[in-house]
């Protein structure tokens, strides 16, 4: 499996900037999810890796070989990449074996080699005994497995998955996520998985790259994205987080002192002195009988998982609704004081930890203007 490296890759469609100087690196054996809202550039990035698009600027390497850049462009068929599309892209007139065999014929394997390889991948994806069926005789999940088997059969360097679960119902999506984890573990292949659904990403990925408006916002482990977001966008996007404006008055050794309204708080973070954001989740809040750090008013409740998910609007600062679970039903308008049990402070620019500043982020939070981010799985 190759080491995939992108350095300052950009792509424009007419006047639309689909990708803006994206740099990252993926070691062999990673399961990377490209995550972000619709239109953020994740599918364009995947198509550039596959060779289906040509970058306007920057360079893409497999190990030390340039596959796209100013000096070279390697076409898709020579990149040894398997790609699973949202639509499956199966030939309806061919059997399961025929769909898988097509690429092996192109690769000029002998009939005996093709038969052995097909049996091997059918075992891997759990479709042994279904080789003679046509796509219309299979369930949606089985067709997805055929598409994956076809990609695995040629023993590609990378498996690229472009929102492959979008056409499946909730039960089949869960089953296929389990299959992706199993197959990734079994084959040791490098997977790059495009999705806008963070639950899917968190179910399978070892690391996640969050994208927004064509830029890489943050690259890191799931825990890092959740507990130490690099920007307000990541903080709000991952785990339905919230942010409140603060003034950073001191920052030293991974701790910050901030003013939240008239309240002085000591919080983890590495933000420079000045305007900033306090990022947190519902689990970082508790109700304080008195002396709370955030005064709010209850605007509504929803009974969920044995508790009342309570939506509260800050009353003394300009901030969005915050939510937490409370054990009892309360009347709208009830004053509620809240205290923070966790959170993370971000600078106003949002580039203090793996964001999209001048340097290239890595998963430790450092940046370098001359090297791409590297995910270390070992």
Residue 369 burial (C-beta neighbours within 10 Å; 0-12, 13-18, 19+): exposed
Decide if 157 is inside a domain: yes
The closest alpha carbon to 24, from 327, 41, 310, belongs to 41
Q: Identify whether residues 84 and 215 lie together within a single domain.
A: yes
pLDDT of residue 366: 33
pLDDT band at 359 (very low <50, low <70, confident <90, very high): very low
Matching residue, tokens 């309806």: 92
**Average pLDDT value for residue range 334-347:** 96
pLDDT of residue 317: 92
Token pair, residue 208, equals 């996640």
Q: Is residue 352 part of a domain?
A: no
Distance CA(194)–CA(28), nearest Å, equals: 18
Are residue 171 and residue 266 in the same domain, yes or no? no
In a domain, 376, yes or no: no
Say if residue 117's pLDDT is above 80.
Answer: yes
For residue 24, what is the enclosing H or E element? strand 16-26
The pTM is what? Answer: 0.82
Q: What is the DSSP string of 245-288?
A: EEEEEEEETTEEEEEETTEEEEEEB-PPSEEEEEEE-GGGEEE-
Together in a domain, 217 and 235: no
Q: In this structure, are 208 and 303 located in the same domain?
A: no
pLDDT at res. 363: 38
CA 96, 102, 106 angle in degrees (round to 5)? 165
The pLDDT value recorded for residue 171 is: 80
| Per-residue model confidence (pLDDT) at position 28 | 82
The 10s digit of each residue's pLDDT in 67-77 is 999 989 999 98
Per-range mean pLDDT, top range of 70-84, 87-101, 136-150, 326-340:
326-340
Instruction: Supply φ then ψ for residue 298, to 5 degrees.
Output: -70, 130
What is the rounded distance in angstroms from the CA atom of residue 335 to the CA atom of residue 330?
10
Q: What's the CA gap between 176 and 178, in Å, rounded?
A: 5
Q: Above pLDDT 70, what percent of the chain?
A: 92
Residues 288 and 203 in one domain: no
- Whether residue 371 has pLDDT greater than 70: no
**Tens of pLDDT, residues 189-248:** 889 999 988 888 988 998 899 999 999 999 998 899 999 999 999 999 999 899 999 999
**Same domain membership, residue 192 and residue 248:** no
Tell me the residue range of the domain where 288 lies: 230-347
Residue 133 shares a structural domain with residue 234: no
- Same domain as 208, residue 153: yes
Q: How many domains does the chain have?
A: 2
Give a yes or no: residue 305 inside a domain. yes
Are 200 and 81 in a shared domain?
yes
Q: Are residues 185 and 239 in the same domain?
A: no
Please name the helix (run of DSSP H) or strand (run of DSSP E) that holds residue 13, with its range, or none.
strand 4-13
**Residue 239: C-alpha distances to residues 43, 258, 372 (Å):** 22, 23, 27
- Shared domain for 220 and 234, answered yes or no, is no
Q: Look at residue 2 in the predicted model and tell me its pLDDT.
A: 65
């Amino acid at each position: 499996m190759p080491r995939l490296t992108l350095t300052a890759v950009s792509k424009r469609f007419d006047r639309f900037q689909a990708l803006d100087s994206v740099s990252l690196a993926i070691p062999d054996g990673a399961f990377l999810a490209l995550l972000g809202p619709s239109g953020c550039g994740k599918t364009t990035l995947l198509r550039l890796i596959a060779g289906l698009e040509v970058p306007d600027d920057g360079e893409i390497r497999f190990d030390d070989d340039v596959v796209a850049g100013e000096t070279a462009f390697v076409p898709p068929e020579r990149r040894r990449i398997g790609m699973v599309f949202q639509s499956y892209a199966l030939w309806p007139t061919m059997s399961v074996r025929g769909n898988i065999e097509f690429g092996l014929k192109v690769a000029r394997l002998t009939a005996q080699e093709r038969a052995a390889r097909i049996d091997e991948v059918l075992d891997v994806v759990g479709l042994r005994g279904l080789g003679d069926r046509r796509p219309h005789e299979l369930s949606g999940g089985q067709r997805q497995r055929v598409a994956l088997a076809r990609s695995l059969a040629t023993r590609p360097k990378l498996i690229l998955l472009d929102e492959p679960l979008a056409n499946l119902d909730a039960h089949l999506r869960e089953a296929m996520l389990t299959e992706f984890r199993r197959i990734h573990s079994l084959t040791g292949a490098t997977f790059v998985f495009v999705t806008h659904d963070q639950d899917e990403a968190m179910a399978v990925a070892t690391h996640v790259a969050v994208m927004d408006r064509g830029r890489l916002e943050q690259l890191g482990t799931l825990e890092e994205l959740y507990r130490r977001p690099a920007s307000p966008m990541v903080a709000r996007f991952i785990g339905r987080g919230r942010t409140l404006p603060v003034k950073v008055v001191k920052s030293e050794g991974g701790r910050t002192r901030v003013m939240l309204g008239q309240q002085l708080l000591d919080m983890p973070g590495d933000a420079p002195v000045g305007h900033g954001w306090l990022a947190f989740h519902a689990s970082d809040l508790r109700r304080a009988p008195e002396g709370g750090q955030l005064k709010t008013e209850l605007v509504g409740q929803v009974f969920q998982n044995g508790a009342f998910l309570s939506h509260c609007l800050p009353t003394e600062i300009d901030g969005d609704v915050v939510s937490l679970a409370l054990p009892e039903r309360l009347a709208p308008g009830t004053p509620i004081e809240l205290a923070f049990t966790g959170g993370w402070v971000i600078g106003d620019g949002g580039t203090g930890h793996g964001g999209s500043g001048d340097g290239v982020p890595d998963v430790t939070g450092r940046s370098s203007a001359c090297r791409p981010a590297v995910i270390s799985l070992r």
